[in-house]
Structure 1
Amino acid sequence: MSISDYTELLIEASERGGDPTLPTRGKMLVGLVENHLNKKLRVSDMEASTTVTTDANGEATIPSGWVGLEGVYYDDVRVPRLMYSPVEQDFVSWGYYTSGDTIKSNLKSRSIVIRYYSAIPSLHTNSTNWLLTAEPEIYLTGLAWQMALRSNDFEKAALAKGYLDSLLGDFRKDDSAKRRGMTSVDMGGGTFDRGSNFTVTAS
């Protein structure tokens, strides 16, 4: 099954859910689904990178729209994410941490590479995106979940959420298999999600 755009998605979801009023609340419901997906998915289509130069204080701004940080690299070496001492007002060792959308480090006036995960492009704004093209069932199931929650049908919501989780799990596995040939790879240090506590033990 394929769904070409935002409008077709709302029509299909409305017919499946038996709710002709769904399109009038599409922006809100699709936004809720995408907010959830941005927290759960870390796949190749979300990967991005940029090269920036830190300022004299060792600070640099993470590009807008980031939802997860894969890592920071200097001279092709992964920079460790470290604890920061608010008492000493200095780093406990070489590395960086994040504060909001800012990377703070002791790499002053240096060129660094930030590898991050960007948010899934909004369907309401862009009409379509790579996820709707690849897996429309994820969006349809996400909307079924949100519609059930809105109707206070928590049993139906739980079933839809369980199916959504299954779809996301399969999508992540397929993405990993395509990139790494089913080989499990430890990237070292994992990823850092936007909004997470910055205090992390050095890897």
Structure 2
Amino acid sequence: MTTFDYASLLVDAGAYSGRDDIAHLFARFVELAEVKFNRGLRVADMERTSTLPLTEGEGTLPADFLEARQVLAPGGRVLRAQPLAELSALQTSGGAPIGYSIVGNRIRVRPKGAEELELSYYAKIPALTAAAPANWLIEKSPDVYLYGLVEEIAIWERDAAKASAAETLKRQAMAGLGLADERLRWGNGEIVIGGLTP
């Protein structure tokens, strides 16, 4: 069975792009590709749970935070995301929190009645480097990495046609990963329509 990692990706990206002179730029290409992956992917392998301590209704988000999936107050009550202006209009203290807003790298809840939150969130893909040569994405979907790198190399070469072709392949690979994730999560799920029915 083939093992995919940082070193094999360097070889494959060079071969697929027709460039054997990119080793000195490879780390940068990987970083740029990962920025795009983090913008577009939201799959189960990216999910994390963290307990966040709060001070005066605010707490610092995890360093790898991308997007909240669910925020729970003590007792397991779900908090609702609210626009900052709406959240700021709520009374600042007293009572259990009912909503939250993300401000920079911090989360703010109002009212300020909780000491900690349970945060379920999407985390950044762990960076692939020579020192950390594997992560869940390259193990699960090496084609996403490969086409992402070929795209970055083509952009560096200023070859729009090659970049466009690689981007199309990358998007198809990401869509396939998303579809596999949906099947994993909802394969046997039933559709339930909420609310009143006639």
When normalised by structure 2's length, the TM-score is 0.84
Once residues 134 and 40 of structure 2 are traced to their aligned partners in structure 1, the CA distance between those partners, rounded to angstroms, is: 20
* C-alpha RMSD over aligned residues: 2.3
**Equivalent position SS for 2:19:** coil
Deviation of the 1:97 alpha carbon: 0.4
- Contact kept? 2:54, 2:117, Cα under 8 Å: yes
Structure 2: 5+ residue stretches without partners: 92-96, 193-198
2:79 alignment partner in structure 1: 79
Is the alpha carbon distance of 1:169 and 1:159 closer, same or farther for their aligned partners in structure 2, counting shifts above 3 Å?
A: same
Residue equivalent to 2:165: 159
The answer to whether the 8 Å contact 2:79/2:100 transfers is yes
| Alignment correspondent of 1:97 | 101
Change (3 A) 1:89 1:72: closer
- Relative to structure 1, the CA distance from residue 184 to residue 103 in structure 2 (aligned partners, 3 Å threshold; closer, same or farther) is farther
Structure 1 stretches of 4+ moved >6 Å: none
Deviations, residues 40-80 of structure 1 (Å, cap 9, x unaligned): 1111111001112321x211111111112112112222201
Q: Number of aligned pairs? A: 184
Give percent identity, aligned residues only. 26
> Shift of residue 85 of structure 1?
2.9
Is the 8 Å Cα contact of residues 10 and 23 (structure 1) preserved in structure 2? yes
Higher gyration radius (CA): 2
Q: How does 1:1-203 map to 2 (within 5 A)?
A: 2-55=2-55, 57-74=56-73, 75-85=75-85, 89-91=88-90, 94-106=98-110, 107-124=112-129, 125-181=131-187, 183=189
Counterpart of 2:43, as a letter, is V
TM-score normalized with structure 1 length: 0.82
Higher relative contact order (CA closer than 8 Å, sequence separation 6+): 1
